Every structure is written in C-alpha cells, then in structure tokens.
Amino acid sequence: MTVKQRAKRVKMLILDVDGVMTKGEIIYDSRGRELKCFNVFDGMGLALLHQAGIKVALITAKVSGAVLKRGRDIGAVEVKQGAIDKIVPFRQILKKYKLSTKETCFIGDDLLDLPILKRAGLACAVANACSQVKKLSHYVTKKEGGRGAVREVIEIILRAQNKWHKLIKRFLI
C-alpha cells in the first residue's frame, strides 16, 4: 500500500513531541524551567488539519507545561504526558475516539515510538530519527523534527484527501 493510500484514511494525527515538534533539545532557563521551541510552519499546518476535521493528539514521555500550552494552542484533543509505554495512551485514544489503527498517522523519532509506529496506519519518521524508527516507517520526512517535518506530513495527508487546495484557496485571493 502506498503512502498516499494510507494518508487517505487518516482521521487522527498523533505526534511525539521532543524531536518531532521540537528539534529535540532541552533548554532550561536560569530558574530551571524547561523551555521548548515549536515550529510556526508546523503550527499553521496543524491549524489547517483542524479545519479539515482531522484530530490531533500528543503522546510524550516527558511532562512539561509547555507541551500542555502548545497542545491547547493547536487544538489537540488529547495530550498524554509521562508516557514511557506509549502504546497504553495510544490504545486509550483509539477507544475514546472509536478509531482503528488504520485511521491514524503517527510521527516519531526515537525508540519509545516503535510500538505505535508498528501499529499506525501511516507511520512516519522525521529525517533525524534513529535508524530503527526510519526502518519501521512508511514515510521518512525530508525535514528534521522541529524544522517543518510535521507540516510536511500534514500536507501529504491533506493532498491525499483532496483537501489541500480548498483549505489554502482563501490565502490565494
């Protein structure tokens, strides 16, 4: 099955955070607070995905207030933090939203993401993901995590579902 065929079925995009939505760096300020830097192109893509009726969820091993804030900003329906065993929240999300694995796209970058990547209908790795993640993925982005990789996958999904041109039409006036 091709990436395009898989992308046509996607009803929810599920994202790892560190290394996917960010460059994978952890920055602390002078008070020890964790700071994260998110990509604006990814943000715009997530807004378009939301407009297209495709849900977004975040599953991450770390716990961070910045992730909660970003989750709210992008309209994520679920933000699951502290998930070392990511398959547990993945299954909870599928059950809650009545989705099959085939209707999900997951983007990951590291070993903790492998269990979801094995099950997702469209498994994606960012360009700078570890080799095991790349091998298991249906698609490896050209862009690195935190540098537009999420947007790249979103465009693939929206184009496969024939929603891209309708969504961007208003910007071409």
pLDDT of residue 170: 81
Measured CA to CA, the distance from residue 110 to residue 126 in angstroms comes to 10
Q: Which residue has the tokens 């299954």?
A: 91
Instruction: List C-alpha distances in Å: 85 to 60, 88, 103, 137.
Output: 10, 6, 21, 19
pLDDT digits (tens, 9 = 90+) for 63-108: 988 899 999 999 999 999 999 999 999 999 999 999 999 999 999 9
Number of domains in the chain: 1
How far is it, in rounded angstroms, from Cα 169 to Cα 172?
A: 5
The range of the structural domain enclosing residue 100 comes to 3-172
Which residue from 46, 24, 36, 38 is spatially nearest to 105, judged by alpha carbons? 46
Q: Can you give the pLDDT at residue 151?
A: 98
142 pLDDT above the threshold of 80? yes
Write out the two tokens for 64.
């961070």
Looking at every residue in the chain, the average pLDDT score rounds to: 95
CATH for 166: 3.40.50.1000
Res. 136 pLDDT band, cuts 50 70 90: very high
| CB-based contact 122:99 (threshold 8 Å) | no
Cβ atoms within 10 Å, residue 51: 13
Label residues 143-156 b or e (16+ Cβ within 10 Å = b).
Answer: bbbbbbbbbbbbbb
